[in-house]
Structure 1
Amino acid sequence: MRTNSIGLDLDKSRALAQELNVLLANFQRYYQNLRGIHWNIKGKRFFDLHLKFEELYTDANVKVDEIAERILTLGGVPQHTFEDYIKHSKVPVGINITKDEDAIRLIVDSLKELLNIERHILHTSDDADDEGTNAMMSDFITEQEKTVWMMKAWLAEEV
């Protein structure tokens, strides 16, 4: 078996880097959605939501960097063009969302897509004995599941 510089199977690491690039593309779209709803939110809940959306997009920005650095650690190259992001993204696009419930639903729908991708990567990274990627996905999943629960509670909907 050929290994990379951190001792992981080279072929499995390349495959993981590709899957992480898909996650990166989706996180970039999620980040842009959060910026858009942060800027455009209106209504009586503006102050609370404006701050919450800033908190979420700041966190998403950190995660984008972490994903890109993990791709590099595995020996891959992080995609970095909007064309790449559009091509690989499944997260819905939020356009001119100004209403609070629409914004929260966009976040929930986006996180559901991210969670699907992350769970797939978690399985793949486990099979590759890649504890670094595995731990990252576990942390992302735990945090995002809680966010979905809180957003659904805000919407007064069942989880």
Structure 2
Amino acid sequence: MTLNTIGLDQKETKDIAQDLNVLLANFQVYYQNLRGVHWNIRGKRFFDLHVKFEELYTDANMKVDEIAERILTLGETPLHTFDDYTKAAKVPVGKNVSEDEKTVRLIVDSLSELLKIERGILDKTDEVGDEGTNAMMSDFITEQEKTVWMFKAWLNETV
């Protein structure tokens, strides 16, 4: 086993960075979805949702940067083209979504996909002792689970 400068196995680190690149691609699509629903929301709930979507896309933008910087910390290169993002993304793409319930449903569906990816990374990083990535995933998951719960309550649904 060959360790890198931060004390992690180089092969395992490369695998984790690849998974983080998949997460990065999906976060970029999620971010664009949030921008789209922020711009296009219509109806009686416009003011509340417009502000909430801005809060979410600001947070997503910060997370994109954190993910990319973690990939660099692990010694790899973050994806950075839309072509790469669309090839790797599983998050649904929302095009011209403006109805309140459909915008919220898009966010819940997007977060559900992100959570699946993050849980996979969490498990893998736990096995190899990558505490930095593991802590990041744990924080993301905790926050996103709460957001899903809130939006499901808004939709009058249970988690």
Q: Which amino acid aligns with 1:142?
A: T
Structure 2 gap ranges (5+): none
Show CA shifts across 1:14-54 (max 9, x none): 00000000000000000000000000000011011000000
**TM-score when scaled to structure 1?**
0.99
Structure 2 residue 69 is the aligned partner of structure 1 residue 102:
no
- Give the equivalent residue in structure 1 for 2:68: 68
Distance 2:91 2:29 in 1: 7
Structure 2 residue 125 is the aligned partner of structure 1 residue 112:
no
Q: CA RMSD in A?
A: 0.4
Q: Which amino acid aligns with 1:83?
A: D
Show CA shifts across 1:34-93 (max 9, x none): 000000000011011000000000000000000000000001100000010000000000
**TM-score when scaled to structure 2?**
0.99
- Give the equivalent residue in structure 2 for 1:158: 158
| Structure 1 residues 1-150: aligned runs within 5 Å | 1-150=1-150
Runs (4+) of structure 1 exceeding 2 A deviation are none
Q: Displacement of 1:128 after TM fit?
A: 1.3
Q: Which amino acid aligns with 1:158?
A: T
Distance 2:127 2:74 in 1: 15
Structure 1 gap ranges (5+): none
Distance 1:93 1:68 in 2: 21
Number of matched pairs: 159
Distance 2:16 2:51 in 1: 34
Identity of aligned residues (%): 74
Q: Which amino acid aligns with 2:54?
A: E
